[in-house]
């Protein structure tokens, strides 16, 4: 097997278990994918592919673990595949198992799967009315009840994963507040693509609301830390946590290997099927660096291009893919990133004072381990 392995590189494998889904969310970027589908390759082939990158065998690292993210579609619609993979890898490979789910089937999840999952990301968009509008009537209550059912016995960590839409009624602050009783970890992602769905006036209005929401949300997060209530608002923590190594924060071009249903591998989960993002397959090996080379050559989502062409006066882009090739799209996404950074920078002196006085702990302002499986900055 011909496999490119950077020195001491840990990997994150995104495994599509199916492209079928029991919801039809209005903003899902997987909406055009084939339904009623499962992996066409043998589980043993995937196990062999993942085993090649075993950090313990390669580097003798006792604690280092690669991660496997089960995604889709709705991954829990193919639980047999997940369980089979876990049974074949749990003992001999050092892996963290992660689930990205809409949460509607958590109450029907095989106990073996739940027992072995390290992290679960549940797609919830905050206030019931907003969530049900985007994901289907009655789904908010169903998902929250499922979370409450499994939470007492689940030993791993769960996070609410929110999609921030440009809808005039959306509020990231209200979304977190609606979920804060049931979750300790929060992450959100800005809706993509955005240009063909919205006008500049709508995007500008969203940015104005977003900045105000972020300010309120940061105060909520900091007040909680002072009171000893640790809520991981991961986008804030990602701004504070130093970036390690080259590449984008999401891992595209360095650690991320997305395995499609046919065994072909891509460097980004939003670019599956795009030949520019194809980095190999599970039989011949995969080279994530191929995508990084593409990103360095002015292709869609290149942060260097964004920084040079649009925001020359603002150094750095936080190593976050802007997710859009159009100039107006880049302006919008970059503005959301700088809104996030500006909120934290404005509170930097106050937070440093709290740290110096030991009223808050340093480890609580940095990214938690679960953030490794996010884009970090929305």
What pLDDT score does 289 carry?
76
What does the block give as tokens for 261? 């249903």
What percent of the chain stands above pLDDT 90?
54
What pLDDT score does 154 carry?
96
Alpha-carbon span 232 to 237, nearest angstrom: 8
Count other C-beta atoms under 10 Å from residue 336's C-beta: 23
Predicted confidence (pLDDT) at residue 29 exceeds the cutoff of 60: no
What pLDDT score does 222 carry?
95
What does the block give as tokens for 378? 């929305």
> How many helical (H) and strand (E) elements, i.e. helices and strands, does the chain have?
13, 11
pLDDT tens, position by position, 56-74: 666 666 677 899 999 999 9
What pLDDT score does 287 carry?
85
What pLDDT score does 33 carry?
52
Task: Report yes or no: 190 and 378 within 8 Å, Cβ to Cβ.
Answer: yes
What percent of the chain stands above pLDDT 70?
80
Task: Report yes or no: 235 and 227 within 8 Å, Cβ to Cβ.
Answer: no
Q: Which residue has the higher pLDDT, 192 or 104?
A: 104
Confidence of residue 332 (pLDDT cuts 50, 70, 90): confident
Predicted confidence (pLDDT) at residue 5 exceeds the cutoff of 50: no
Alpha-carbon span 176 to 210, nearest angstrom: 13
Task: Report yes or no: 68 and 15 within 8 Å, Cβ to Cβ.
Answer: yes
Predicted confidence (pLDDT) at residue 184 exceeds the cutoff of 60: yes
Alpha-carbon span 104 to 38, nearest angstrom: 19
Confidence of residue 1 (pLDDT cuts 50, 70, 90): very low
Alpha-carbon span 122 to 144, nearest angstrom: 9
Alpha-carbon span 70 to 73, nearest angstrom: 10
DSSP of 233-267, one letter per residue?
EHHHHHHHSPP-SSS-TT-TTTTEEEE-TTSEEES
Q: What are the chain's domains?
A: 12-195+229-290+363-373 (3.20.20.70)
What pLDDT score does 368 carry?
92
What pLDDT score does 194 carry?
66
Confidence of residue 328 (pLDDT cuts 50, 70, 90): confident
Alpha-carbon span 113 to 298, nearest angstrom: 41
* pTM, rounded to two decimals: 0.90
Query: For the residues 328-340, what does the mean pLDDT come to?
Result: 80
What pLDDT score does 23 carry?
78
Confidence of residue 20 (pLDDT cuts 50, 70, 90): confident
Query: For the residues 333-353, what does the mean pLDDT come to?
Result: 88
Helix (H/G/I), strand (E/B), else coil: 118? coil
Alpha-carbon span 186 to 376, nearest angstrom: 11
What pLDDT score does 331 carry?
75
β 232-233/185-190 pair status: parallel
Alpha-carbon span 20 to 325, nearest angstrom: 28
**140 — phi, psi (to 5°)?**
-60, -50
**Radius of gyration over alpha carbons of the chain, in Å?**
20
Query: For the residues 36-53, what does the mean pLDDT come to?
Result: 92
pLDDT tens, position by position, 200-258: 899 999 999 999 999 999 999 999 999 988 899 999 998 888 766 656 777 777 889 99
What pLDDT score does 259 carry?
97
What pLDDT score does 292 carry?
64
**Which of 30-44, 200-214, 305-319 is the most confident on average?**
200-214
Alpha-carbon span 193 to 207, nearest angstrom: 16
**Which residues, in sequence order, are CB contacts of 326 under 8 Å at separation 6+?**
195
């Amino acid at each position: 097997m011909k496999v490119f392995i950077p020195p001491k590189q840990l990997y994150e494998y995104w495994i599509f278990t199916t492209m079928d889904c029991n919801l039809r969310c209005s903003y899902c970027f997987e909406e055009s994918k084939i339904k009623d589908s499962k992996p066409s390759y043998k589980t043993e082939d995937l196990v062999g592919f993942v085993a090649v990158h075993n950090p313990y065998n390669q580097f003798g690292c006792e604690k280092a673990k690669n991660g496997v993210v089960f995604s889709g579609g709705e991954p829990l619609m193919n639980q047999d595949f997940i369980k089979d993979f876990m049974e074949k890898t749990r003992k001999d490979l050092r892996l963290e198992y992660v689930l990205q789910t809409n949460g509607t089937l958590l109450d029907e999840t095989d106990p073996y799967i739940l027992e072995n999952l390290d992290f679960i990301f549940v797609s919830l968009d905050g206030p019931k009315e907003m969530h049900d509008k985007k994901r289907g009537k009655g789904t908010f209550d169903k998902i929250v009840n499922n979370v409450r059912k499994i939470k007492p016995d689940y030993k791993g960590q769960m996070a609410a994963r929110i999609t921030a839409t440009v809808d005039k009624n959306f509020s990231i602050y209200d979304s977190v507040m609606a979920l804060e009783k049931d979750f300790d970890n929060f992450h959100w992602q800005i809706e993509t693509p955005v240009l063909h769905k919205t006008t500049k006036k709508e995007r500008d209005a969203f940015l104005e609301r977003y900045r105000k929401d972020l300010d309120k949300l940061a105060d909520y997060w900091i007040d909680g830390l002072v009171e000893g209530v640790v809520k991981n608002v991961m986008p804030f923590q990602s701004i504070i946590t130093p970036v390690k190594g080259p590449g984008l924060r999401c891992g595209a071009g360095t650690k991320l290997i997305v395995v499609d249903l046919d065994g072909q591998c891509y460097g980004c989960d939003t670019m599956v099927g795009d030949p520019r993002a194809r980095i190999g397959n599970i039989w011949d090996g995969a080279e994530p660096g191929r995508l990084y080379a593409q990103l360095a050559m002015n292709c869609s989502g290149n942060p260097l291009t964004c920084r040079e062409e649009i925001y020359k006066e603002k150094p750095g882009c936080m190593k976050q893919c802007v997710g859009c090739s159009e100039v107006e799209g880049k302006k919008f996404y970059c503005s959301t990133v700088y809104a996030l950074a500006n909120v934290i920078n404005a509170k930097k002196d106050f937070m440093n004072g709290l740290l110096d006085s030991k009223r808050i702990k340093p480890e609580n302002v940095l990214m938690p381990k679960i953030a490794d499986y996010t884009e970090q900055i929305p």
